[in-house]
């Protein structure tokens, strides 16, 4: 057997011998970790800043479709994250002069009631 064959044979016999199953499990863990990596979208204040930046860019670039008098209603999910998102987005958009018609934080029925009480949004 060549010298290269002896060098390769030792690690392969080690892996396929006593620790073969452990090696396969480690490789499967690595495989599934790589396959399930995904980008997470920002939440809370960070998400609000990102969305506000996009809205402000739209208003500045396309004033015919997104006029400065744009009426905005903010709806966010329940919980502290939703409240933080709504208040941060309102602050960011108010800072550039955009009108916030209303804010609702909660489940869909609560948001619907808030939209109806805000009146007609054109």
Q: Find the mean pLDDT for residues 77-82.
A: 92
pLDDT score recorded for residue 68: 77
- Mean pLDDT (the chain) is 84
Backbone angles phi, psi at 83, to 5 degrees: -65, -40
CB neighbours (10 Å) of residue 46?
A: 13
Torsion angle defined by CA atoms of residues 86, 88, 91 and 96, in that order, rounded to the nearest 10 degrees: -100
CA quadruple 103, 90, 85, 121: dihedral sign: positive
Tell which residue, 114, 118, 38, 121, has the closest CA to residue 76. Answer: 114
């Amino acid at each position: 057997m060549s010298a290269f064959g002896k060098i390769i044979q030792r690690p392969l016999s080690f892996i396929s011998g006593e620790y073969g199953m452990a090696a396969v499990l480690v490789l499967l863990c690595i495989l599934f970790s790589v396959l399930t990596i995904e980008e997470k979208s920002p939440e809370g204040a960070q998400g609000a800043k990102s969305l506000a930046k996009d809205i402000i860019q739209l208003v500045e670039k396309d004033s015919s479709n997104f006029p400065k008098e744009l009426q905005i209603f903010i709806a966010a999910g329940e919980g502290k994250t939703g409240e933080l998102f709504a208040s941060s987005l309102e602050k960011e958009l108010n800072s550039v002069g955009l009108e916030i018609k209303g804010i609702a934080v909660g489940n869909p029925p609560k948001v619907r009631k808030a939209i109806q009480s805000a009146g007609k949004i054109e």
